[in-house]
Amino acid sequence: MPMFVDTSPPGQCIFCRLVANEIPSAKVFEDELTVAFMDIGQVTPGHVLVATQRHAATLLDTTPEEAAAVMRTAHRVARAVQAAFQPPGLTLLQANGALGGQTVAHFHLHVVPRHEGDGIALTWPRQEPPSAVLASHAERLRAAL
Ligand SMILES: [Zn+2]
């Protein structure tokens, strides 16, 4: 996970300042609900962040329209990244909360070109619980939806 963590006080988030052009950024796209700009960390060349224009800390703080708009912009940016950089792979990453790996508390989605040996890793500890446990989890979610 990235080492940079934004510790700005509430209301002065680094991405809100970027949206307001109070700090410099390499923007690539902007519409009513979203903004896309180069990640200053550039894990790989062409690494872009797509964020909401409005401050929303996590996915759960966005409206359905904002969440959909971020994915629409990410889709557009991903096609541009593919055309401009021709990476053999592409990963979208969206993190929520410190334990989720979020380092800037303003909703954003990473569009990351991927290459052999790029050093990016995400451990994925499969557990394969019994089907009754899956059914129980599904029931809890159906009740919440
Ligand atoms: Zn913000």
How many Å lie between the centroid of ligand 1 and the Cα of residue 51?
Answer: 9
pLDDT at 140: 98
109 Cα–ligand 1 center, Å: 14
- Residue 121 C-alpha to ligand 1 middle, in angstroms? 27
Output the CA 62–ligand 1 centroid distance in Å. 12
**Confidence (pTM):** 0.92
Q: Determine the pLDDT at residue 69.
A: 98
Residue 64 is predicted with a pLDDT of 98
Say what the pLDDT of residue 34 is: 98
The tokens for 125 are 């500890």
| Number of residues in the chain | 145
3-state secondary structure of 18: helix
pLDDT reported for residue 11: 64
Tens of pLDDT along the chain (145 residues) come to 456 777 776 668 999 999 999 999 999 999 999 999 999 999 999 999 999 999 999 999 999 999 999 999 999 999 999 999 999 999 999 999 999 999 999 999 999 999 999 999 989 999 999 999 999 999 999 999 9
Q: Give me the pLDDT at residue 135, please.
A: 97
3-state secondary structure of 36: strand
Question: Do the beta carbons of residue 108 and residue 67 sit within 8 Å?
Answer: no
Residue 35 near residue 51, CB atoms below 8 Å:
yes
Give me the active site residues, please: 108
Q: Would you state the pLDDT for residue 2?
A: 52
